[in-house]
Amino acid sequence: MLLPKLSTRNKWFAGALFILAALVGYFGYGYISKNPPIVDYRAQPQSEKVQHDARLKITAETMLHQKMIYKKCGDQENLRARPSENYIGMTLSQIQVAYPGWTIDYFDATEVRMTLEIDNFCREHANGMYIGTKDGYVTVFYGKPGIKPIVKEVTKIATKQLVAEDVAELEKGIVVNTKEELLRTLEGMQSQ
């Protein structure tokens, strides 16, 4: 026998402890496997969380943060929104398929942060042009006057050959809406 020197009372006590430990282990394992311990994923490296927890899914309460970086002008556009119904229930891998080209910076049930780098100008710089001056020459810029000027083209028209009124207008910026209007304005300045 395993416990020959124990009294009958102590043997019953040891047996009861053994059965109690077995029950605690059995039910404890069942509880933990259904209710995993709470882990603060924000304190862990993002790649570990993203790679190791396929159970995370987007809910109706998840906040989507989208950051678009326009490489040609350096502008950023940030959007925040709740997911549409067709994204609810998606996992990280499904979101990566739904958003090709985007980098998923952070993913959990409360928020998803993603970034897209666009090799172009933002809408404001792509849709607008104006004529101004740079280094003593008439210059065509993307965008609108006074907002982060991005040079499109420096012309050969020197500002010193222009009338003072035209130079004053150029200093403020002359908005042009079409390519034809741009060419007409530049032609008028060149003929002076």
Q: Taking the domains of the chain in order of start, what are their residue ranges?
A: 46-118, 128-181
Write down the pLDDT at residue 103: 93
Give the per-residue pLDDT at 2: 54
The pLDDT averaged over each successive group of 10 residues in the chain (192 residues) is: 65 76 71 53 44 74 94 88 92 90 91 93 80 93 82 91 91 88 88 74
For the segment(s) 46-118, the CATH number from 3.40.720.10, 3.40.50.300, 3.30.70.20, 3.10.20.420 is: 3.10.20.420
Instruction: Give Cα separations from 72 to 117, 118, 152 (angstroms).
Output: 10, 8, 11
pLDDT at 39: 46
